[in-house]
Structure 1
Amino acid sequence: MSPPTDLQTVLDSEIKEWHFHIYFHQNNADEHQAALVLRDAVLRLRRDGAFVAVPLFRVNTSPIGPHPCGSYEIWCPSESFASLFSYLCMNRGELSVLVHPLTREERTDHDTRKAWIGSPYPLDLSTLPVKSEEIPLQYPSLQLGYSSTAPTVPLEARKKLGAAIENRLRAEKEAAKAPQD
C-alpha cells in the first residue's frame, strides 16, 4: 500500500499530540536521579517558555501499563514537538525515551508508530486498547494539539507555498525534485 499523497487526507490525519516516556531502571539510584533531574529541567524550560511540555505529576517507580521499568510521561502538543524532541536528544544522558503519537489507536501508537531516543525496551502491549472512539485530548485548557483554536492555513495557500519552495530548490543540485503528476 502506498502512503497517501492527497494533501487534504494528509492534513486531516496529522498527529497533534505526543507522549515522551522517560525510562530508568527502577533499582538504579543513579538513573532514577538522572530522570528526576531531567524532569525538573523540562519543567523549568516550560516555565521559561522554551516549549510546551507537561510531565505527568506521577513518576512510576515500577512497571506500569506497557512500560517495563520506572518511567514518567511527558505530554507535548505538535506545536512544541521539534523543540522538546531536540532537547531530549541532546540532554537525556544515558536514559532511553519512548516517543509515540496520541491517536485513537493506542496499541498501534505504542507498537508500529513509536520511536526511540536511546536503547529500546520491550513493551507489553496486551494492556492497551486496540481502538477507542475518543480523540485522546490532554490539557484542552491549553488550546494546543487537538484542542488548538489557531486558524489553519488554507489548502490553496499551502499549495502556493509548496510551489514556491519547489521553484527555489530547482537550482539546488542535491535536492530531490518532486514528481510532475
Structure 2
Amino acid sequence: MKRQKTDLKRILPSPPPPIISYHLHITYTLFNPSGVKEALELRQRTREQFQNYLGPDCPGRYDYGYLCMIVDHDIENTTLIGGPFVSGEWSIFLPLGYYAVVTPWLLQNRGNLSMLLHPNSGIWAMWAGEPWPLDMSIFEKETQTNEFGHYPGDPDNPVCLLKGAVCGDDKLSPFALCCYELACKAAEMISNGASSFTVHRCA
C-alpha cells in the first residue's frame, strides 16, 4: 500500500494566524470521584503556586491581558457548556509572557491528569498525558473566533510583561519575559509563615 503524502500547505492557512495567547486545560473524568478530587487539588495548588502572578478570575475565555483562572462553568459536576470537551476540565488564560513560567510547572505537576495546551489561533493543539476525545462538530471550518482581529501586543494580548508586572520569585524559574529595556529584578519580600521569599518585577 502506498503511503499518501500530506500537503501541509493545503491544510494550513497562508500565512498562518499569529499566536497571541494560549489556553491550558486540565481534563478528568467527572464520574470518577478520585479523579475529580485530584483535578480540584491541582487547581488549588496552581492557584497557590501562581498567586503573585494571577489576576482576577476570568468569567470568559479570551482577551484578558493578564494571567487568570477561567471560571465559566461548574468544574465539579458539568462539562463546558457548548463543548468541545466531553470530559471535566478547568482552564487558564495564558498570555505569551507567562508561557515559560506556567507551562513547565503544570507539565511536571499534573500527576495522572491530562493537559491540553493550545494557542488561541484555531490550530496547533498539544496534549500531555492521554488525549481525550473532543467534540469538534461545534466548530465551523474557516469561521473565525473573537481572537481574530486581535494581534500580538495589543492591550488584551501582551507578548511581554510591562513595568511593575510580576516576572518571577524564589520558587519559580525561568522568569517570565519582560518587555524591551526592562529586566526582572527583586522587588519585595513576602512573608510566608515561618519563611519568606522575594517577588521579582519588571523594572
Please provide the CA RMSD for this pair: 3.5
Q: Is the Cα–Cα contact under 8 Å of residues 79 and 145 in structure 1 kept in the other structure?
A: no
Q: Secondary structure at the match of 2:43?
A: helix
Deviates more, 1:40-49 or 1:127-136: 127-136
The reply to whether residue 88 of structure 1 matches residue 106 of structure 2 is yes
Please list the CA deviations of residues 67-117 of structure 1 after superposition, one character each: whole Å capped at 9, or x if unmatched: 1111112111111112111011110000001111112x4xxx3xxx11001
Change (3 A) 1:62 1:83: same
Q: Give 1:21-60 correspondences, 5 Å limit.
A: 21-49=25-53, 53-57=67-71, 58-60=73-75
Change (3 A) 1:33 1:53: farther
Unaligned runs of 5+ in 2: 1-6, 10-14, 56-65, 163-177, 181-203
Q: Is the Cα–Cα contact under 8 Å of residues 42 and 53 in structure 1 kept in the other structure?
A: no
Instruction: Please name the residue that 1:145 is paired with.
Output: 157
Unaligned runs of 5+ in 1: 4-8, 154-181
Q: Give 1:117-128 correspondences, 5 Å limit.
A: 117-128=128-139
Please list the CA deviations of residues 135-179 of structure 1 after superposition, one character each: whole Å capped at 9, or x if unmatched: 2699xxxx46258796976xxxxxxxxxxxxxxxxxxxxxxxxxx
The reply to whether residue 73 of structure 1 matches residue 91 of structure 2 is yes
Query: What's the % identity of the aligned pairs?
Result: 23
CA distance in 2: counterparts of 1:28 and 1:147, whole angstroms:
38
Q: Is the Cα–Cα contact under 8 Å of residues 19 and 101 in structure 1 kept in the other structure?
A: yes
Change (3 A) 1:137 1:43: farther
Structure number with the higher strand fraction is 2
Task: Give the TM-score of the pair, scaled to structure 1.
Answer: 0.61
Task: Give the TM-score of the pair, scaled to structure 2.
Answer: 0.55
Aligned length: 136
